[in-house]
């Protein structure tokens, strides 16, 4: 892995419309919420913000619409220490939207309108070839067209840029794409989608990790919610527990974990330590409402870790 260099995140940008309610409506039911918020989100943008706020040198490849939301998102990302030069403004398109319900337990359900995110084409990826080739690592998710994710992974692999994939939202992926990935971070649902193995114990996680290793992925980190993660390098696996906090809203918890993890790995922290750093960032995020409003800055993560002794 090239280290201490630039991180490139490729992914989505959404405006999240978030309604907090006691319990999710069932089909045909209307439920009145207790809190409504519009906040910036999108898995790609959330992970970029988590990396930027936690201290990475980062550029973001993404698309916004040519609307007011897009202009405001780009301004916000810049103030989060992100190079937005590779963020394209797509004429005639609207910025992506996510409609999110959060229930009393802090769980969420999400519906997406891709909008400009669907315009992150292989041609746009090719325009960023030099950026990807010169980076130390490339972090992607699956809210962008999968052929573009594949194109970016190919450029990265040809240039010894580490490919990290957070395979969210869950979908099946080709062996060709998986073989280009160096670090993968599925949750239990995503791990099952990719491997066919339902993950409900450490043993299941170890088996799912083995399948992903066989596809050519060296580092597999399966996130297990409040149980932490299963971290497996070349088949040597163990569980790394997270921190116990009172979660009020888990939106972007995984995104925060991924962005902070990449910051720590690019600082050459050993994997265990990098996971602990990412756990701390995610633990702070779940105590706050919304996606990007919940993502902590570096000093907050360091303070949290210092308090753990």
How many residues contact ligand RIB, by CB under 6 A? 14
Residue 48 interacts with ligand RIB (CB under 6 A): yes or no: no
Alpha helices (H) in 97-179, listed in sequence order: 122-127, 129-134, 146-158, 175-178
Length of the chain: 309
Q: Tokens 């600082």: give the residue.
A: 267
Taking CB under 6 A as the criterion, the residue among 10, 153, 291, 301 binding ligand RIB is 291
Pattern 112-151, ligand RIB, x by CB under 6 A: -------------------------------x--------
Q: Is 242 among the residues that bind ligand RIB (CB under 6 A)?
A: no
The DSSP symbol for 120 reads -
For 2, 5, 7, 8, 137, the CA distances from 267, given in Å and listed in that order, are 11, 9, 11, 15, 12
Q: How far apart are the first and last CA of the chain?
A: 31
For residue 262 the two structure tokens come to 């990449």
Separation in Å, CA 120 to CA 36, 66, 132, 284: 30, 14, 15, 31
- Residue tagged active-site, from 202, 255, 302, 303: 255
Residue nearest to ligand RIB (CB): 41
Residue 73 phi/psi, 5-degree rounding, is -60, -45
Residue 64 touching ligand RIB (CB under 6 A) = no
Residue 20 binds ligand RIB (CB under 6 A):
no
Least separation, in Å, of the C-beta of 300 and ligand RIB?
19
Beta bridge partners of 240: 229
Closest CA to 226 of 239, 238, 214: 239
Which one, 163 or 168, has the nearer CB to ligand RIB?
168
Q: Which helix (H) or strand (E) holds 64?
A: strand 58-65
CB of 140 to ligand RIB, least distance (A): 13
255 labelled catalytic: yes
Whether 309 has a binding-site annotation, put simply, is no
98 preceded by a cis bond (ω within 30 of 0)? no
Q: Per CB under 6 A, which of residues 84..113 are in contact with ligand RIB?
A: 98, 110
Spatial separation of the C-alpha atoms in residues 289 and 128, rounded to whole Å: 34
CB of 93 to ligand RIB, least distance (A): 16
The reply on whether position 252 binds ligand RIB by CB under 6 A is yes
Q: Residues interacting with ligand RIB, by CB under 6 A?
A: 12, 14, 16, 41-43, 46, 98, 110, 143, 251-252, 255, 291
List binding-site positions. 14-16, 42-46, 143, 187, 223-228, 249, 251, 254-255, 279, 285, 288, 290, 294
List binding-site positions for K(+). 249, 251, 285, 288, 290, 294
Active site residues: 255
């Amino acid at each position: 892995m090239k280290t201490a260099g630039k991180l490139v995140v490729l992914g989505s940008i959404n405006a999240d419309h978030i309604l907090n309610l006691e319990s999710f409506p069932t089909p045909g039911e209307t439920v009145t919420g207790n809190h409504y918020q519009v906040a910036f989100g999108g898995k790609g943008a959330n992970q970029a913000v988590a990396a930027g706020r936690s201290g990475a040198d980062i550029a973001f490849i993404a698309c916004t619409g040519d609307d007011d939301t897009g202009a405001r998102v780009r301004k916000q990302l810049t103030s989060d220490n992100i190079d937005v030069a590779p963020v394209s403004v797509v004429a005639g398109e609207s910025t992506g939207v996510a409609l999110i319900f959060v229930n009393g337990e802090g769980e969420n359900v999400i519906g997406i309108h891709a909008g400009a995110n669907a315009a992150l084409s292989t041609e746009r990826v090719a325009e960023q070839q030099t950026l990807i080739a010169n980076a130390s690592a490339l972090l992607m998710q699956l809210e962008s067209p999968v052929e573009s994710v594949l194109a970016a992974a190919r450029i990265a692999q040809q240039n010894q840029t580490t490919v990290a994939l957070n395979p969210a939202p869950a979908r099946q992926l080709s062996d060709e794409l998986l073989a280009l990935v160096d670090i993968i971070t599925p949750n239990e649902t995503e791990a099952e989608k990719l491997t066919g193995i339902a993950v409900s114990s450490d043993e299941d996680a170890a088996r799912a990790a083995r399948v992903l290793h066989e596809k050519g992925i060296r580092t597999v980190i399966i996130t297990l919610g409040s149980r932490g993660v299963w971290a497996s390098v070349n088949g040597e696996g163990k569980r790394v527990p997270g921190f116990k906090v009172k979660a009020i809203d888990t939106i972007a918890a995984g995104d925060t974990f991924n962005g902070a993890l990449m910051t720590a790995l690019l600082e050459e922290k050993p994997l265990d330590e990098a996971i602990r750093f990412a756990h701390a960032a995610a633990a702070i995020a779940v105590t706050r409402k919304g996606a990007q409003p919940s993502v902590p800055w570096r000093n907050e993560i360091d303070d949290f870790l210092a308090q753990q002794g």
